[in-house]
Amino acid sequence: MAGDSKIGPVGGIGRTGPLRNIAGGFAASAQAPIQAQTAPDSLPTTRLTRLAGTIASQQPPVDVARVASLRSAIASGSYGVHPAIIASAMIDFYGAGAE
């Protein structure tokens, strides 16, 4: 095929032999069967998987000062819950809904 040399292997499978015309279509030559090749980029995938596991095993970051101030506000009764503000923030975060 014209221009076929400009296109690299697709899906990790490369053609090892020339094409030949059979009944108006093209097929790989019988002398050279197509062989699967391993993906060369498996190393970054392994690194990313290892990194994701490391991050998942760590404790989440906690603002200890903020937690202490919230605990004291709740204990003293000065912490107020405002449903309208919470609802507005939820709408802003999730959007106004499907359009």
Tens digit of pLDDT for each residue in 12-25?
555 555 555 566 55
Question: In the structure encoding, which two tokens stand for residue 63, read together?
Answer: 């603002």
Tens digit of pLDDT for each residue in 67-99?
999 999 999 999 999 999 999 999 999 986 655
pTM, two decimals, is 0.34
Supply the pLDDT for residue 87: 93
Which residues, including other chains, have CB under 8 Å from residue 8's CB and lie 6 or more apart? 14
Where exactly are the structural domains of the chain?
11-36
Tens digit of pLDDT for each residue in 22-42?
665 555 555 555 666 555 556
At residue 59, φ and ψ (nearest 5 deg) are -75, 145
Which residues, including other chains, have CB under 8 Å from residue 36's CB and lie 6 or more apart? 12, 13
Inter-residue contact 9 to 37 (CB < 8 Å): yes
- Whole-angstrom distance, CA of residue 5 vs CA of residue 8: 7
Instruction: Specify the pairing of strand 35-36 against strand 19-22.
Output: unpaired
